[in-house]
């Protein structure tokens, strides 16, 4: 491509310059307003506004259908009258919601200076509220020289106020009452055995039909893998980007998850899903990607931001023709640039105010701490903008506090209200249960909310978001079935995905017909779930772990939109004991007294007010040595009317643990022992079995929980009781 493009930008201002087959509009056009950005429905028509500092002129193209090769109308924005500062705007009378549109932006093409304008490419609106994707969409056409109008994604005009929420409102559930289920909208109900009709599988409406399943399990919040419109072709040839970490629109719900065919279908169906989840008492948290886009590196496609204002939207290398790649995907959004910062905050406001979501998990959030040169800022403006925005007050903000370039901020992420995915919890629990050395002291800290990591912040006990598995890595079943990743089906020679998995296959790599091996794996799965649900912090459960979902050892299934990734509903009957085990764990967790949160007690305060004693096989003699694989502790939390004694035996042989005496003639009751077969592995809380001996034999690789107190006599509470959340 030449250094400069020969475009229509040299024509007289205010006159549309049509291509073959296009209809121009040379009449006098109302020049509109610079605010708000995007396409805004107003009385009599639609106002369009877009930011571009380096453009020489911009054309608005209107279409009748998503795969039209030519626009029905082309309206050129006058560089004098239709431009305020760097905002280009105009009002088009007579058009309505559902109108399909896009932009052509004229300007210099000179990558060495950061300019990548290409007026042959149809571009999405960065603020577009909906996107249509033609069946013949081509990512390759957007990357190659030449026009791509017919095969390009296009934006759609949306009237954000045209929806009946029927008094829906955010749930404001406290973090102490939150059980997060990380799930994929499509994968949750795409499997043929999901029980849904073909047109509902993998859709927002399909998820609605399975809400009773989430309620029954005890889930209080779903964390949805990316639902921003993404480029499904951003992946190796012959595969599909399944996870969705390839955004092209930060305001538009992904069209392919809609069961409806009309351009506005995804917007309304997403809202239907949120409203239904809220009625069921379940919050909606979105996994959001503000660290990069699907436009990739210097050889990637021109879809939106690259062609509108490349050097504004992206962090560029010293060689301005190359992109900084702190995301590992080819480019990095310039998040602390004022314009990009505003776009991010506007996006979050939109999803909260107009789409009613309850929170966000920020993918590779540490990238948001980098400035325009890629250096780490001590006070990143965009993070403080998000935290201090009044419209976002009370919204759950969860950071994945690292990036792909080695920046790791777990325990040091900026802000007063951000919670953090605790990657150290994952690593240390895995190390302990696979019997790794030097792990016993670390598991002790993780059980108590990781005070060694978070105590210095004097924050709440729930700052740590605890997970052992997530979408990125092994499922829980694969974690206990594989020592190595098996990503051959991804087409990258098994080079992709993490090598440091800290897994243990229980003696056999992959599937096994040996009953003893499967029994051990089942026990390890329950051990992981128990530690996650008993630890202080906010627990996350990965979709399918409750039924031992299998991914054949693939720890990077981002391009597997098939039965490798989809939830296999037949596993619910095959592993009903695991499902029941988790359900009872959650039920008891939601019964906890959480007055510490209502009075804003910090983690340190809570621990100081609690009675905690560490033990080994002998009372008061914990073994903190490097080669220790067993630990016990007793605790009494304030106001919980309960004392408990937990035994963690990661050793490969049974061990006899001394038990402390219970005051006032009380007795210990056994609630959990993962070595026992179901239904004795965990029992209904009020049916916990008395333990008469002063020694308890904990089986190899097991977790045991004993408890005593008046809490056993309390009636079971409903998780929907309002007084539990106030």
Backbone angles phi, psi at 598, to 5 degrees: -65, -35
Which of 697, 718, 714 lies closest to 647 in space, CA to CA? 697
Is residue 48 within 8 A of residue 39, CB to CB? The reply is yes
- What is the strand order of the sheet 87-93 is part of? 38-42, 45-51, 87-93, 83-84
Q: Give the chain's radius of gyration (CA, Å).
A: 27
Q: What is the dihedral of CA 317, 319, 321, 326, to 10 degrees?
A: -20
Contacts with 625 (C-beta within 8 Å, 6 or more apart), sequence order: 440
Residues in the chain: 726
Catalytic one among 118, 363, 385, 462?
363
Question: Which DSSP symbol is given to 449?
Answer: T
Q: Name the token pair of 522.
A: 């089942």
Could you give the dihedral angle defined by the CA atoms of residues 236, 240, 242 and 244, in that order, rounded to the nearest 10 degrees? 70
Q: How far apart are CA 165 and CA 169, in angstroms?
A: 8
User: What 3-state class would DSSP assign to 121?
Assistant: coil
What does the alpha-carbon distance between residue 688 and residue 672 come to, in Å, rounded to a whole number? 8
| Half-sphere exposure at residue 339, Cβ-oriented, CA atoms within 13 angstroms | 20
Determine the Cα–Cα distance for residues 267 and 251; give it in Å rounded to an integer: 10
The reply to whether omega before 315 is within 30° of 0 (cis) is no
Answer for the pair 295, 331: CB distance below 8 angstroms, yes or no. Answer: yes
Distance CA 374, CA 325 (A): 9
Nearest-angstrom CA–CA distance, 176 and 461: 8
Active-site annotation holder among 231, 358, 400, 673? 400
Distance CA 685, CA 204 (A): 35
Please check whether residue 496 is in contact with residue 476, taking contact to mean a CB–CB distance below 8 angstroms.
Answer: no
Contact 553, 482 (CB under 8 A): yes
- Alpha carbon distance 637, 629 (integer Å): 25
Known catalytic membership, residue 400: yes
HSE of 547, CA atoms in CB hemisphere, 13 A:
16
Annotated catalytic residues are 363, 400
């Amino acid at each position: 491509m030449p250094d400069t493009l020969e475009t229509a930008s040299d024509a007289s201002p205010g006159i549309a310059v049509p291509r073959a087959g296009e209809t121009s509009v040379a009449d006098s056009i109302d020049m509109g307003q610079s605010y708000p950005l995007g396409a805004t429905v107003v009385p009599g028509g639609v106002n369009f506004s877009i930011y571009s500092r380096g453009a020489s002129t911009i054309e608005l193209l209107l279409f009748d259908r998503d795969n039209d090769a030519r626009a029905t109308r082309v309206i050129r924005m006058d560089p004098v009258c239709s431009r305020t500062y760097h905002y280009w705007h105009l009002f088009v009378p007579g058009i309505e919601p559902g109108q399909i549109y896009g932009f052509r932006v004229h300007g210099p093409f000179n990558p060495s200076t950061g300019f990548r304008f290409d007026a042959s490419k149809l571009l999405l609106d960065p603020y577009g509220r909906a996107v249509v994707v033609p069946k013949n969409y081509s990512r390759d056409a957007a990357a190659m020289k030449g026009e791509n109008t017919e095969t390009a994604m296009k934006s759609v005009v949306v009237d954000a106020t045209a929806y009946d929420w029927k008094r829906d409102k955010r749930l404001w559930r406290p973090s102490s009452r939150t059980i997060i289920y990380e799930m994929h909208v499509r994968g949750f109900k795409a499997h043929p055995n999901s029980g849904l009709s073909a047109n509902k599988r993998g859709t927002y409406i399909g998820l609605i039909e399975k809400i009773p399943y989430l309620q029954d399990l005890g889930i209080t919040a779903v964390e949805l893998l990316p639902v921003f419109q993404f480029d499904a072709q951003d992946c190796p040839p012959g595969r599909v980007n399944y996870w969705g970490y390839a955004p092209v629109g930060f305001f538009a719900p992904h069209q392919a998850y809609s069961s409806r065919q009309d351009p506005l279908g995804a917007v309304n169906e997403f809202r239907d899903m949120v409203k239904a989840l809220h009625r069921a008492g379940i919050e909606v948290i979105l996994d959001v990607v503000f660290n990069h886009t699907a436009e990739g590196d210097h050889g990637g496609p021109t879809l939106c931001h690259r062609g509108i204002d490349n050097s504004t939207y992206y962090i560029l290398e010293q060689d301005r023709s190359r992109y900084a790649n702190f995301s590992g995907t080819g480019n990095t959004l310039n998040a602390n640039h004022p314009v990009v910062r505003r776009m991010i905050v506007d996006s979050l406001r939109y999803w909260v105010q107009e789409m009613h979501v309850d929170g966000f998990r920020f993918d590779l959030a540490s990238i948001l701490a980098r400035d325009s040169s890629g250096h780490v800022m001590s006070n990143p403006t965009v993070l403080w903008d998000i935290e201090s925005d009044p419209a976002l007050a009370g919204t759950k903000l969860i950071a994945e506090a690292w990036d792909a370039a080695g920046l790791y901020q777990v325990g040091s992420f900026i802000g007063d209200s951000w919670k953090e995915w605790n990657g150290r919890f994952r690593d240390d629990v895995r190390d302990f249960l696979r019997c790794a050395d030097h792990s016993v002291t670390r598991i002790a800290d993780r059980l108590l909310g990781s005070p060694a990591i978070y105590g210095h912040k004097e924050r709440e006990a729930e700052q740590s978001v605890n997970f052992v598995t997530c979408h990125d890595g092994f499922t829980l079943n694969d974690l206990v079935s594989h020592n190595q990743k098996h990503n051959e089906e991804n087409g990258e020679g098994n080079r992709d995905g993490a090598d440091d998995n800290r897994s243990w296959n229980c003696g056999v790599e992959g599937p096994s017909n040996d009953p003893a091996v499967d029994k051990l794996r089942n026990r390890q799965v329950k051990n992981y779930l128990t530690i996650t649900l008993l630890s202080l912090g906010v627990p996350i459960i990965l979709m399918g772990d409750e039924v031992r979902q299998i991914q054949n050892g693939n720890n990077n299934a981002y391009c597997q939109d098939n039965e490798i990734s989809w939830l296999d509903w037949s596993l619910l009957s095959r592993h009903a004991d695991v499902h029941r085990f988790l359900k009872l764990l959650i039920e008891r967790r939601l019964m906890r007294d959480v007055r510490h949160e209502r009075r804003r007690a910090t983690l340190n305060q809570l621990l100081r007010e609690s009675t905690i004693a560490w033990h080994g096989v002998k009372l008061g003699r914990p073994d903190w040595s490097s080669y220790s694989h067993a630990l016990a502790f007793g605790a009494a939390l304030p106001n919980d009317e309960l004392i408990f004694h937990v035994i963690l035996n990661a050793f490969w042989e049974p061990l006899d643990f001394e038990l402390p005496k219970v005051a006032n003639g009380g007795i210990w009751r056994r609630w959990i022992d993962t070595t026992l077969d179901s239904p004795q592995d965990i029992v209904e809380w009020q049916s916990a079995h008395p333990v008469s001996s002063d020694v308890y034999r904990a089986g190899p690789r097991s977790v045991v929980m004993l408890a005593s107190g008046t809490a056993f006599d309390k009636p079971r509470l409903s998780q929907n009781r309002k007084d539990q959340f106030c």
